[in-house]
Structure 1
């Protein structure tokens, strides 16, 4: 069940600060006064980059650089950098679509509300502010959706290229820096753990969110009537890490799984099965088997060390993966 654990996720959307929002508003205002005949700038596998998108993204980046009081590169260099960014993003989005990675309306609503809160506004006031500045709210939501998918794609395809061995952890903890960083989260007192198992079912091209939730509701009902949770998990669950084990997740510590999963698990009694709930990975039901208080200071310290090492290796591996993706793609740039 590696992929629902927070050590391997990056759902958190990068929230716009007030200055970045201002830059985006400025760029949009400028673009509204410049009507350009649209054309295809680049063919990227099965997708295209349009001149209008390149122009808007270039102006937005230029505005952000100016707001940061940094020198602007020459216009042609800036445009080349933005085009390359759009090409690589297109390749990732296409990969996400092929892999069935989606962002639900609920997840997108929560992300947009987070952006509004970062700017100290309610969602409705934020919507009105965007519209007043000439930015369609739908366009803003689409940009956030794209960023969420990009993050999920990177996590899905880069994380599996990373391996953290016990020896890596030992070496890290043997260093002064490693011990200091890892012990910041370790606590020398018992923590509450939950033993649980789950069933994950993902929406697909032939099964929408409502149908997926309905299927899990039927599975929940079968279990409540005495059905074998383990057998049902082996039959239905789409989590490759736990399905063959009957959905078993072992003992879970606070913060080890994504918040939606932890909340549902914490609100479920021992021996009971939760109502269907959604995370970025799909729809779940979770059964709580037991709870205990356990001194986990050493385990937590090793988990923290793994998280630090994985984050560092992710930052090193991501550019290599993106370069491979770009090198293997069909890209034709129209001059």
Structure 2
């Protein structure tokens, strides 16, 4: 529909030559399966990368290279957004506004101040909102498709728990730079030889003093290419197994590679290292009432119900447990009066977790929107625990999951890209 509207606008403008001379028309730049990428989208992403690079005082390659990398990122986003449409994944306006509110809060500003900062950067707030919405949708698509590709055996968890015990409290963390010279999903010997040669040339340039971030933006097929290949801080047990084995015993500033995997040839740079102090694990005891909007119950009405329940509970006119049993749409907790028991807050969806983080024991949240619906939450208690074997197993499982999720995401994206019809116009 977007393409049809653009075409109609073009026809109208061509009917009036003076307008056509003054207007800068948008155009379709890439066809991606059932969707398109517009020239304006490419220009916007290139401008964003340049703006971020300027803020970070980072050197950038030519505009042509930036355009190529931006097109690749937009192709992957388009494919994931098309999949989201087929899966029926949506993010409502209330959920979006709550997420933006949380982003502003994490930066220590109000939403109004965030809007003001965006305006100073010449970024439209409406465009920013849609970018956040798309990030949330893409996140749900990835989790839905990649999670089912991951299988973790009890033996893997047991082995990592043993390794963590041997390492003790001082587990190494690495800030890694990453360049991937990618391969197609079913590479020929010629594909492999060419990728290996390119990887060796890249490593030679880096050893001769070339800027890692600039080379990553220019050459990398990795998902973090436009960020200069920065993977951030990774626990040794959370990074891909190949990387973990390669970085052990290496020092800050060292280059590693090329390392061969199914995705291609990897080059790593250890930007920095640090130890991990012993961390206590927080657990929360909470309860909630969930109201799910539907065809007959609007978003506003669902929220209003919880506002009313909250006031009734505070005024001692109603009992939380009784309201949960009667009204909550969460069958698992409703029969228990909304009780969720003791749990690691990280197991909850982001909006729920953030609401708990802002509550003191005994306090009630205002109605908050998550992917499940509207919640009224009470934090009953909070405790810290780092001594149980169960906690060690949970931590080991999460580290393995994070590592495999990262590996499988790259594979899934590559397979989806290879299977798609793509035409750069």
Measure the CA separation in 2 of the matches of 1:129 and 1:275.
Answer: 27
Aligned to 1:211: 301
Measure the CA separation in 2 of the matches of 1:211 and 1:111.
Answer: 26
Measure the CA separation in 1 of the matches of 2:83 and 2:290.
Answer: 22
Q: CA deviation at 1:86?
A: 0.6
Q: Secondary structure at the match of 2:30?
A: strand
Measure the CA separation in 2 of the matches of 1:218 and 1:84.
Answer: 48
Does structure 2 retain, via aligned residues, the 8 Å contact 1:43–1:49? Answer: yes
Q: Secondary structure at the match of 2:302?
A: helix
Q: As a proportion of its length, which structure holds more strand?
A: 2
Residue in structure 2 matching 1:266, options 358, 361, 373: 361
Aligned to 1:141: 129
| Structure 1 position 108 matched with structure 2 position 100 | yes
Measure the CA separation in 1 of the matches of 2:157 and 2:142.
Answer: 24
Aligned to 1:323: 414
Q: Secondary structure at the match of 1:333?
A: strand
Q: CA deviation at 1:157?
A: 3.6
Structure-2-length-normalised TM-score: 0.52
Q: CA deviation at 1:296?
A: 5.4
In the comparison of the two structures, how many residue pairs are matched? 282
Change over 3 Å in CA distance of 1:131–1:193 after alignment to 2: closer
Measure the CA separation in 2 of the matches of 1:153 and 1:83.
Answer: 20
Structure-1-length-normalised TM-score: 0.64
Per-residue displacement from partner, 1:32-90 (whole Å, max 9, x unpaired)?
Answer: xx974311122334432111111222343355557654451571x43232112112112
Measure the CA separation in 1 of the matches of 2:365 and 2:401.
Answer: 31
Does structure 2 retain, via aligned residues, the 8 Å contact 1:265–1:286? Answer: no
Query: Which runs of structure 2 are paired with 1:251-262 in the superposition (5 Å)?
Result: 251-253=342-344, 257=348, 258-261=353-356
Aligned to 1:44: 32
Gaps of 5+ in 1: 1-33
| Structure 1 position 81 matched with structure 2 position 175 | no
Does structure 1 retain, via aligned residues, the 8 Å contact 2:288–2:377? Answer: yes
Measure the CA separation in 2 of the matches of 1:287 and 1:124.
Answer: 28
Query: Which one has a bigger Cα radius of gyration?
Result: 2
Q: Secondary structure at the match of 1:266?
A: coil
Measure the CA separation in 1 of the matches of 2:366 and 2:126.
Answer: 32
Q: Secondary structure at the match of 1:175?
A: helix
Change over 3 Å in CA distance of 1:218–1:93 after alignment to 2: farther
- Root-mean-square deviation (CA, aligned residues, Å) is 4.3
Change over 3 Å in CA distance of 1:193–1:143 after alignment to 2: closer
Change over 3 Å in CA distance of 1:128–1:295 after alignment to 2: closer
| Structure 1 position 184 matched with structure 2 position 278 | yes
Gaps of 5+ in 2: 1-21, 172-275
Measure the CA separation in 2 of the matches of 1:147 and 1:251.
Answer: 30
Q: Which has the higher contact order (CA 8 A, sep 6+)?
A: 1
Measure the CA separation in 2 of the matches of 1:334 and 1:255.
Answer: 41
Q: Secondary structure at the match of 1:80?
A: helix
Query: Which runs of structure 2 are paired with 1:116-127 in the superposition (5 Å)?
Result: 117=108, 124=112, 127=115
Change over 3 Å in CA distance of 1:133–1:292 after alignment to 2: closer
